[in-house]
Structure 1
Amino acid sequence: MESSDLQVKADAAAAGAAPTAAGRAYPFERRRRLSSAALAVANEKVHSAYSSVVINGVVRTADFVCLSIVGVASYLGYVVPIDGFSWIPVWAVLAMSLVAVISFQAAEVYDIEIYRGRLRQFTRLISSWTFVFLLFIGVSFFAKFGDTVSRVWLVTFFVFGFIALSLERMALRSLVRRWAREGRLGRRTIIVGSDENGEHLIEALRQQDDSDLKLLGVFDDRNDARALDTCAGLPKLGKVNDILEFARRTRVDLVLFALPISAEGRILEMLKKLWVLPVDIRLSAHTNKLRFRPRSYSYIGSVPTLGMFEQPITDWDMVMKWVFDRFVGALLLILLAPVMALVALAIKLDSPGPVLFRQKRFGFNNERIDVFKFRSLYHHQADPLAAKVVTRNDPRVTRVGRIIRKTSLDELPQLFNVVFKGNLSIVGPRPHAVQGKLQSRLFDETVDGYFARHRVKPGITGWAQINGWRGEIDNEEKIQKRVEFDLYYIENWSPLFDLYILLKTPWALIKGENAY
């Protein structure tokens, strides 16, 4: 069959379709059928990626801390027993450590490719570290306090500082080489355009000695002779429509268009489909005769590209959001534990069945995740896929369920998702049910660009919720407004924005709009 055909696949396919309490099978979910070549790539074991920006930042911090410890320890061990303690040498050690990091940066020591080698790394380290000491000696001479500085301490600091840096770099080299083998440092890349332009682009990328790209394959919509089945040795994995499903099944970091800028219509049509992905999307400009100013381009090695879309939260932003989620989530879990215990007791006394239940929701990049909630429906009428929206005076809702749904207390167990499973954030677009519908149409059929709200992790609370767009979705405006507010949040994210939404959430819950 053609790769563009739709395949009907159950949500619980991995474990077998489980029947509901009433004996009915769970609703089926639409999935796109991929080609055998695409499935072969998608089924490969893939580890999560590590950001080179974050790695370099951690190494800089480790260098500063390492040198500071060595310098202060040598001062305390040799100078203090003889001359007594003074803060001036301690500040001098910290200043030298900071200058050393700046010097290492100027010598381009902080680079993933440098970490992998030995000779270049250690020669640059020793030359930069020597420069720092010569600079310090020169400054102390002109400041006329050279006689007060212990030469033994300086030599000790210099020698043991370099030994500490060398040991640190040996451990780092081992880690980086292992991460490289696991594919954590490479950007998994797909090429759009399986023709002569695509071949030229792939060959140009392969000529980059220090490229971090891992080329997975090519996609092309054309079925005629212009679309090659094998492009510069890379297999054609499918059509552009297949990229969404392919990126959902395996990690994709970069989509690179090999089409010329003159193919504006085709490019725009493809971007309308692909912008919902949480990946970098770039247009290669290596074959274009029209040239822009150099700073208009971002380069992959020597290949110029034009950025179309970028991942919304990356590098240190992702670290800050991770820390925010885990720290605030753990704190809320501790503070709200008594409330959660009382809710659990009330549910148990009110109706038979478990206190918690898991519901299928959309997660990051359209992945299906199980979110924890307090049970608010009668157990025999459980709806794990939320195929039927809860409405006002819904007979499926228990007495306690009406209270906890109105106050959103039923959402509190999602803190377990945040703290222990890591598939939810404290703040983000709310995770909609995989079978969420408006008048028999799925949400993604109702709103263009619906799946773009999954470019970040979903959250327990969000910008749409504190602005009143929560609860039942019974008309098109409500789902459109949710998506509109969610996309605004993604494009304008910052840690302070998250904090503002979190602080506004209690007031939104007190108002209790549209929650049944």
Structure 2
Amino acid sequence: MSYKQGRYSKLIKPVIRLIDLIILNGAVFLFPINLSNHYLFVCYISVSWVIIAVRNNFYEVYRHTRIIQVTRLLVNQLVFFTFILYAYMGFFKQPHIGRVALAKYLLFTIILIFLFKFITFYFFKKFRSVLQGNQRDVIVIGENTKIRQLIQTFKNQPDFGLRFRAQFCSNDKDFSLKKCFKYVVENNIDEIFVSVSELSNKEMNLLINFADNNLRTLKFIPDNKDIFSKRLQYEYYDFTPILSLRKIAVHEPLNAFVKRALDVIVSSIATVFLLSWLTPLIALLIRLESKGPIFFKQKRHGLDGHEFGCLKFRSMAVNKITDDLHVKKNDMRVTKIGRFIRKTSIDELPQFYNVLLGHMSVVGPRPHMTSLSEVYSKKANKYMVRHNVKPGITGLAQVSGCRGEVETDFDIINRTKYDIFYIENWSFLLDINIILQTIVNVFQGEDKAY
């Protein structure tokens, strides 16, 4: 489940990971372990720690996570790391390593990491409860024992950082989902908790569509309704069970690590072996034909609907309507060299820099101009679901023939279906297949590439 993050929230986990690695590597030089190759040992323990952490979800600690769960994560992580650490001697044939010094190193790092984990855990609880930092506004829909219990949890445990704003009772005469939706939008509500037993299937579908189209987190207080027979994410808020509707594959720690690794590898190869020599050549051709910048930067919507500057080689003469008017067939704004680089998709190559910076992924839903996203969201149901993942240089929709100008409503509806299918059925092999198919399409040429 992806959680809506504050401005700096996304930096918390990377910083915590970095500090753990500093502890692991820094402590090596405090004990006479008698290593024959310090660099090999440091690389070994760092890579091993990261792999074990991803496998054990070691850094997946949320505001509602209990202390017993944190303890279990620590024990699992450190037990596996202990085995891997002592395996180093046999794997790399290091009989001269000081076993007592290695044991002291292990004990020292375990104590430090235990302390750091608990200190940060309690610090963020205090930060949310005392300083009211990193708060999320929530509403609940329903009126029963579990709902009352959940509301009490929100009020009694401010360290969750979930600020209860309103309750909508489905039994009230003036109750309507439209009022709920209006309240959510006007008050910028982040999460909606609903008791599924109190809404009809039709109302539930309306609520799901609203949450998808407006990028709100929707969570359910479960019962035995058949409508939720598929596998959902199960969590506890204190003693209240909660179900989260959409579980996105690329948000799982291991999958996110694999996908990011693929992004970095592919974009690094493209940058070093392609853009390094192609950029000066394309720059020269662009400047010979028309005045203006070599690169074109356009605001587009990315992960969670946040705007970012999408890079391209400039393929049009400088004009004032670039951000308002999508390129059409035989567009007079496109230059001669522009037609060539658009036809061959060379104009998209600078987006590998966006991938390296973390704004985009190699594979994902194509980002649209900010001026068009609002238009498309009204034409294609669940269009905003596309923003649950990073946008891509290429995507399933593009290799399936859905690229170029959006001429009819059917075009964007069809693309959205492909994008949602990709999000809900992501796999590493699917990404590889899309990348290979994109390369084939570049050499074959595409009718709608203009």
TM-score by length of 2: 0.70
Structure 1 range deviating more: 267-276 or 296-305: 296-305
Q: How does 1:130-145 map to 2 (within 5 A)?
A: none
SS of the aligned residue for 2:208 comes to helix
Aligned to 2:416: 483
Q: Measure, in 2, the Cα distance between the counterparts of 1:475 and 1:396.
A: 22
- Select 1:513's aligned residue among 441, 444, 447: 447
Distance change (3 Å), C-alpha of 1:226 and 1:299: farther
1:239 alignment partner in structure 2: 180
Larger Rg: 1
Preserved CA contact (<8 Å) 1:417 1:423: yes
Q: What is the Cα deviation at residue 463 of structure 1?
A: 0.9
More helix by share: 2
Q: 1:332 to 1:176 in 2, by over 3 A?
A: farther
Distance 1:173 1:283, change over 3 A: closer
The whole-number CA distance in structure 2 between the counterparts of 1:433 and 1:471 is 13
The yes-or-no answer on 1:399 pairing with 2:332 is no
Offset at residue 481 of structure 1 (A): 1.9
Residues in 2 aligned to 1:46 and 1:58: alpha-carbon distance in whole angstroms: 19
Note the C-alpha offset of 1:475: 2.3
Distance 1:356 1:245, change over 3 A: farther
The alignment of Structure 1 onto Structure 2 pairs a total of residues equal to 401
Give the corresponding residue for 1:270. 207
Distance 1:449 1:112 in 2: 27
Query: For residue 6 of structure 1, what is the aligned residue in structure 2?
Result: none
Superposed displacement of residue 408, structure 1:
1.4
CA contact (8 A) 2:151 2:164 kept: no
Distance verdict in 2 for CA 1:187–1:486, change over 3 Å: farther
Q: Matches of residues 96-495 of structure 1 in structure 2 within 5 Å?
A: 157-180=102-125, 188=136, 190-193=138-141, 198-205=147-154, 212=160, 214-215=162-163, 217-218=165-166, 220=168, 239-241=180-182, 243=184, 252=190, 254-258=191-195, 260-276=197-213, 280-285=217-222, 298-316=235-253, 317-335=255-273, 336-379=275-318, 381-385=319-323, 387-420=324-357, 422-436=358-372, 442-495=375-428
- Conserved 8 A contact 2:263-2:355: yes
Unaligned runs of 5+ in 1: 1-41, 81-89, 137-148, 228-237
Answer whether contact 1:277 1:365 (CA < 8 A) is retained: no
Relative to 1, partners in 2 of residues 1:456 and 1:163: Cα closer, same or farther, differing over 3 Å? closer
Q: Secondary structure at the match of 2:250?
A: coil
Q: Quick one: distance in 2 between partners of 1:116 and 1:192?
A: 22
User: Aligned partners of 1:275 and 1:257: how far apart in 2?
Assistant: 15
- Deviations 1:160-198 (Å, cap 9, x if unpaired)? 532332233334444445555666998946223286775
Q: Confirm or deny: 8 A CA contact 2:376 2:412 kept in the other structure.
A: yes
Counterpart of 2:89 in structure 1 is none
Per-residue deviation, residues 402-453 of structure 1 (Å, max 9, x unmatched): 1111111111222222223x2221111111123339xxx9322222222222
What are the superposed Cα offsets for residues 365-402 of structure 1, whole Å, 9 maximum, x if unpaired? 233332122221211x24342x3232222111111111
**Alignment partner, residue 20 of structure 1:** none
TM-score by length of 1: 0.62
Structure 1: distance between partners of 2:61 and 2:19: 10
Q: Rate the CA distance shift 1:262–1:409 in 2: closer, same or farther, 3 A.
A: closer
Q: 2:9 aligns with which of 48, 64, 74?
A: 48
* Aligned partners of 2:23 and 2:112 also within 8 Å: no
Among the aligned pairs, what percent are the same residue?
25
Q: Return closer, same or farther for 1:487/1:353 CA change in 2, 3 Å cut-off.
A: same
* C-alpha distance in 2 between matches for 1:245 and 1:452: 21
Shift of residue 350 of structure 1? 0.3
Query: Matches of 2:268 and 2:416 in 1, distance apart?
Result: 29
What SS does the aligned partner of 1:436 have? helix
Whole-Å Cα distance in 2 between the matches of residues 494 and 60 of structure 1?
29
Query: For residues 128-158 of structure 1, what are the alpha-carbon distances to aligned partners after superposition, in whole Å with 9 as ceiling and x for unaligned?
Result: 99xx99xx9xxxxxxxxxxxx99xx666554
Residues in 2 aligned to 1:432 and 1:63: alpha-carbon distance in whole angstroms: 43
8 Å contact kept, 2:141–2:195: yes
Compute the displacement of 1:488 (Å).
1.2
Q: Which runs of 5+ in 2 are unaligned?
A: 87-94
Query: Is contact 1:466-1:501 (8 Å) kept?
Result: yes
1:161–1:455 CA distance, 2 compared to 1 (3 A)? closer
Contact kept in structure 2, 1:470 and 1:513, CA below 8 Å: no
Q: Give CA deviations for 1:67-92 in whole Å, capped at 9, x if unaligned.
A: 9x699x76648xx9xxxxxxxxx9xx
SS in 2 for 1:318: helix
